Chains A and B, each alone.
Chain A
Amino acid sequence: MEIRNQKDFGAGLMYMVIGLFFTFMATQYPMGTAAKMGPGYFPFWLGIVMTALGLLILVKSLSAKAAIEKIPPFNWKVIGLITGSVIAYGVLLPTMGFIVAVFVLVFMSASASHEFHWKGTLINATFLIVFTYSVFVLGLKLQFPLLPFFLQ
Chain B
Amino acid sequence: MDLFANLALGFDTAFTLQNLLYCLIGCVLGTLIGVLPGLGPIATIAMLLPATYALPPIAALIMLAGIYYGSQYGGSTTAILLNIPGETSSVVTAIDGYQMARNGRAGVALFTAGMGSFFAGCVATLVLAAFAAPLSQLAFKFGPAEYFSLMVLGLIGAVVLASGSLIKAIGMIVLGLLMGLIGTDVNSGVSRYAFDIPELSDGIGFVAVAMGVFGFAEIMGNLEKTDEDEGFLNKMTTMIPTKEDVKRMIPSILRGTTIGSILGILPGGGAALAAFGAYSVEKKSSKYSHEFGKGAIEGVAGPESANNAAAQTSFIPLLTLGIPPNAVMALMVGAMTIHNIQPGPQVMTSNPALFWGLIASMWIGNVMLILLNLPLIGIWVKLLKIPYRFMYPAILVFCCIGVYTVNNTVFDVYVTAAFGIIGYLFFKLGCEPPPLLLGFVLGPMMEENFRRALLLSRGDFTTFLTRPLSLGLLIAAALLVVIVALPAVKKTREEAFVED
Q: Which residues of B contact A128 (CB under 8 A)?
A: 393-394, 397
Question: How distant is the Cα of A70 from the Cα of B257 in the complex, in angstroms?
Answer: 41
| Cβ distance A117 to chain B, nearest Cβ, rounded Å | 8
Q: A69-B430, A78-B223, A79-B220 are in contact. Are A42 and B450 (CB under 8 A)?
A: yes
B192 contacts A49, C-beta separation under 8 Å? no
Chain B residues within an 8 Å CB radius of A106: 393, 396-397
Choice from A19, A69, A86 contacting B416 with Cβ under 8 Å? A86
Taking a contact as CB atoms under 8 Å apart, the answer to whether A71 and B455 are in contact is no
B174 touches which one: A29, A50, A71, A93 (CB < 8 A)?
A: A50
Decide: A132 near B450, CB < 8 A? Known: A15-B175, A33-B459, A57-B167: no
Q: Does A151 contact B (CB under 8 A)?
A: no
Q: How far is the CA of A50 from the CA of B176 in the complex (A)?
A: 11
> Which of B103-111, B117-125, B177-185, B244-252 is the contact stretch?
B177-185
> CB-CB < 8 A to A110: which residues of B?
389, 393
Query: How far is A85 from B420 in the complex, measured between Cα atoms in Å?
Result: 12
Bound CA span A34–B401, Å: 44
Q: How far is the CA of A146 from the CA of B51 in the complex (A)?
A: 18
A10 to B408, CA, bound (A): 36
Q: CA separation between A41 and B394, bound complex, in Å?
A: 44
Q: Is the CB of B413 within 8 A of A11?
A: no
Chain B residues 394-408 with CB under 8 Å of chain A are 394, 396-398, 400-401, 404-405, 408
Contact of A8 among B168, B404, B408 (CB under 8 A): B168
Q: Is the CB of A90 within 8 A of B414?
A: yes
Q: Is the CB of B430 within 8 A of A87?
A: no
| A-side contacts of B387, CB under 8 Å | 115
Interface digits, A98-121 against B, CB 8 Å rule (1 contact, 0 not)? Answer: 000010011001101111110011
Q: Which residues of A contact B397 (CB under 8 A)?
A: 102, 105-106, 128, 132
Complex CA–CA separation, A47 to B396 (angstroms): 33
Is B461 an interface position by the 8 A CB rule?
Answer: yes
- Which residue of the partner chain B has the closest CB to A83? B417
Asked if B229 is at the interface of the complex by the 8 Å CB criterion, the answer is no
Name the residue in A90, A106, A142 with the highest tally of chain B Cβ atoms < 10 Å from its Cβ: A90
Bound form: Cα–Cα A39–B186 in Å: 9
CB atoms of B390 and A124 under 8 A apart? yes
Interface centre among A109, A120, A128 (most CB of B within 10 A): A109
Contacts of B420 in A (CB 8 A): 82-83, 86
Q: Given the known A-B contacts A7-B429, A83-B417, A120-B390, are A39 and B192 also in contact in the complex, defined by CB atoms under 8 Å?
A: yes
- CA distance in complex: A58, B178 (Å): 20
A34 and B459 contact, CB distance less than 8 A: yes
In the complex, what's the smallest C-beta–C-beta distance from B231 to chain A, in angstroms?
16
10 nearest A-B pairs in the assembled complex, by CB-CB distance: A35-B459, A34-B459, A90-B413, A39-B185, A90-B410, A86-B417, A39-B190, A113-B389, A11-B429, A53-B171
Other A-B contacts than A11-B429, A46-B174, A89-B413, 17 sampled, CB-CB below 8 A, are A11-B430, A37-B451, A37-B454, A38-B190, A42-B447, A50-B171, A53-B174, A56-B167, A57-B167, A74-B424, A78-B220, A105-B400, A106-B397, A113-B388, A121-B393, A128-B397, A132-B398
What are 24 A-to-B residue pairs whose CB atoms are below 8 Å?
A11-B430, A18-B175, A35-B458, A37-B455, A39-B187, A39-B192, A42-B451, A46-B177, A46-B178, A47-B178, A49-B174, A53-B167, A56-B167, A57-B171, A78-B223, A82-B223, A82-B420, A83-B417, A86-B413, A105-B396, A109-B392, A117-B389, A124-B390, A142-B54
